[in-house]
Amino acid sequence: QQQVKQSPQSLIVQKGGISIINCAYENTAFDYFPWYQQFPGKGPALLIAIRPDVSEKKEGRFTISFNKSAKQFSLHIMDSQPGDSATYFCAARGTDKLIFGTGTRLQVFP
Amino acid sequence: NAGVMQNPRHLVRRRGQEARLRCSPMKGHSHVYWYRQLPEEGLKFMVYLQKENIIDESGMPKERFSAEFPKEGPSILRIQQVVRGDSAAYFCASSSRANTEAFFGQGTRLTVV
């Protein structure tokens, strides 16, 4: 019940395309859903986050869609750029800690 | 305002030695979280600490691993008698309060030879 399932494991997108990463959870007590971006050799950096009372949040080219009834949320990267190539982690916060998905390695080719 | 500082960035230990990983949270942050990341895997929660208190250690192995966050100084993750399987990247994150944004450090990459 504490798991967050993330897919796909890897994603290859052409420059200018849309990257979509999906996550699902089971614990209805989760109250905060952030996405982190991690470059090789670096720590995860907070990208965008959403709370369950909102169905969508957009910041620049990044959008989170949240479906509370299905217990799913997704990250959409519009107009994907080579600089977006990184590993993306979804997460969900329980009572006191973040539970992370297994990550999606995104490669954007020019 | 410096971010979360972890040191060392890289640490090599022989099997059986002790590893000490340090984490200085962001200024004004009193909540610290430790995560472990194995190659090509996600981040696994280890322990959550506030100043002088362990709040949640449900992800810590029962033996050889310990963590502290003293009143003064950085948080320390200590691994005694390291084994090859302890080789991983260890990340620390901090937040100003419980249930607020957590910011990660650059990690310590531990290699056990």
Instruction: Read off the pLDDT of residues B9-42 as tens digits, 9 standing for 90 and up.
Output: 999 999 999 999 999 999 999 999 999 998 878 8
Instruction: Tell me the per-residue pLDDT of B65-84, one tens digit each, with 9 for 90 and over.
Output: 999 999 999 999 999 999 99
Distance separating alpha carbons of residues B111 and B89, to the nearest angstrom: 9
Instruction: Tell me the per-residue pLDDT of A11-54, one tens digit each, with 9 for 90 and over.
Output: 999 999 999 999 999 988 898 999 999 999 899 999 999 999 99
Distance separating alpha carbons of residues A43 and A99, to the nearest angstrom: 16
Nearest to B77 by CA among B13, B16, B23, B30: B23
Question: Residues of B with CB below 8 A from A27's CB?
Answer: none
Instruction: Tell me the per-residue pLDDT of A44-80, one tens digit each, with 9 for 90 and over.
Output: 999 999 999 999 999 999 999 999 999 999 999 999 9
Question: Residues of B with CB below 8 A from A102's CB?
Answer: 41-42
Alpha-carbon distances, residue A66 vs A34, A61, A70, A72, B96 (angstroms): 11, 16, 9, 6, 26
Rounded mean pLDDT of chain A?
A: 94
Distance separating alpha carbons of residues B16 and A69, to the nearest angstrom: 50
Alpha-carbon distances, residue A18 vs A39, A78, A90 (angstroms): 19, 5, 17
Nearest to A107 by CA among A89, A84, A74: A84
Selected for mutation to probe chain B from A89, A96, A99, A105 (highest B CB count within 10 Å) is A96
Instruction: Determine the distance in angstroms separating the CA of A70 from the nearest CA of chain B, rounded to an integer.
Output: 23
pLDDT tier at A94, thresholds 50, 70, 90: confident
Q: Which residues of A77-92 are buried (b: 16+ CB within 10 A; e: fewer)?
A: beebeeebbbbbbbbb
Nearest to A102 by CA among A84, A89, A92: A89
What's the confidence (pLDDT) of residue A63?
97
What's the confidence (pLDDT) of residue B4?
96
What's the confidence (pLDDT) of residue A12?
98
Q: Is B101 on the interface with A (CB under 8 A)?
A: yes
DSSP helix/strand/coil, A110: coil
For residue A100, how many C-alpha atoms fall within 13 Å in the half-sphere facing its CB?
Answer: 25
pLDDT tier at A1, thresholds 50, 70, 90: low
Question: Residues of A with CB below 8 A from B103's CB?
Answer: 46
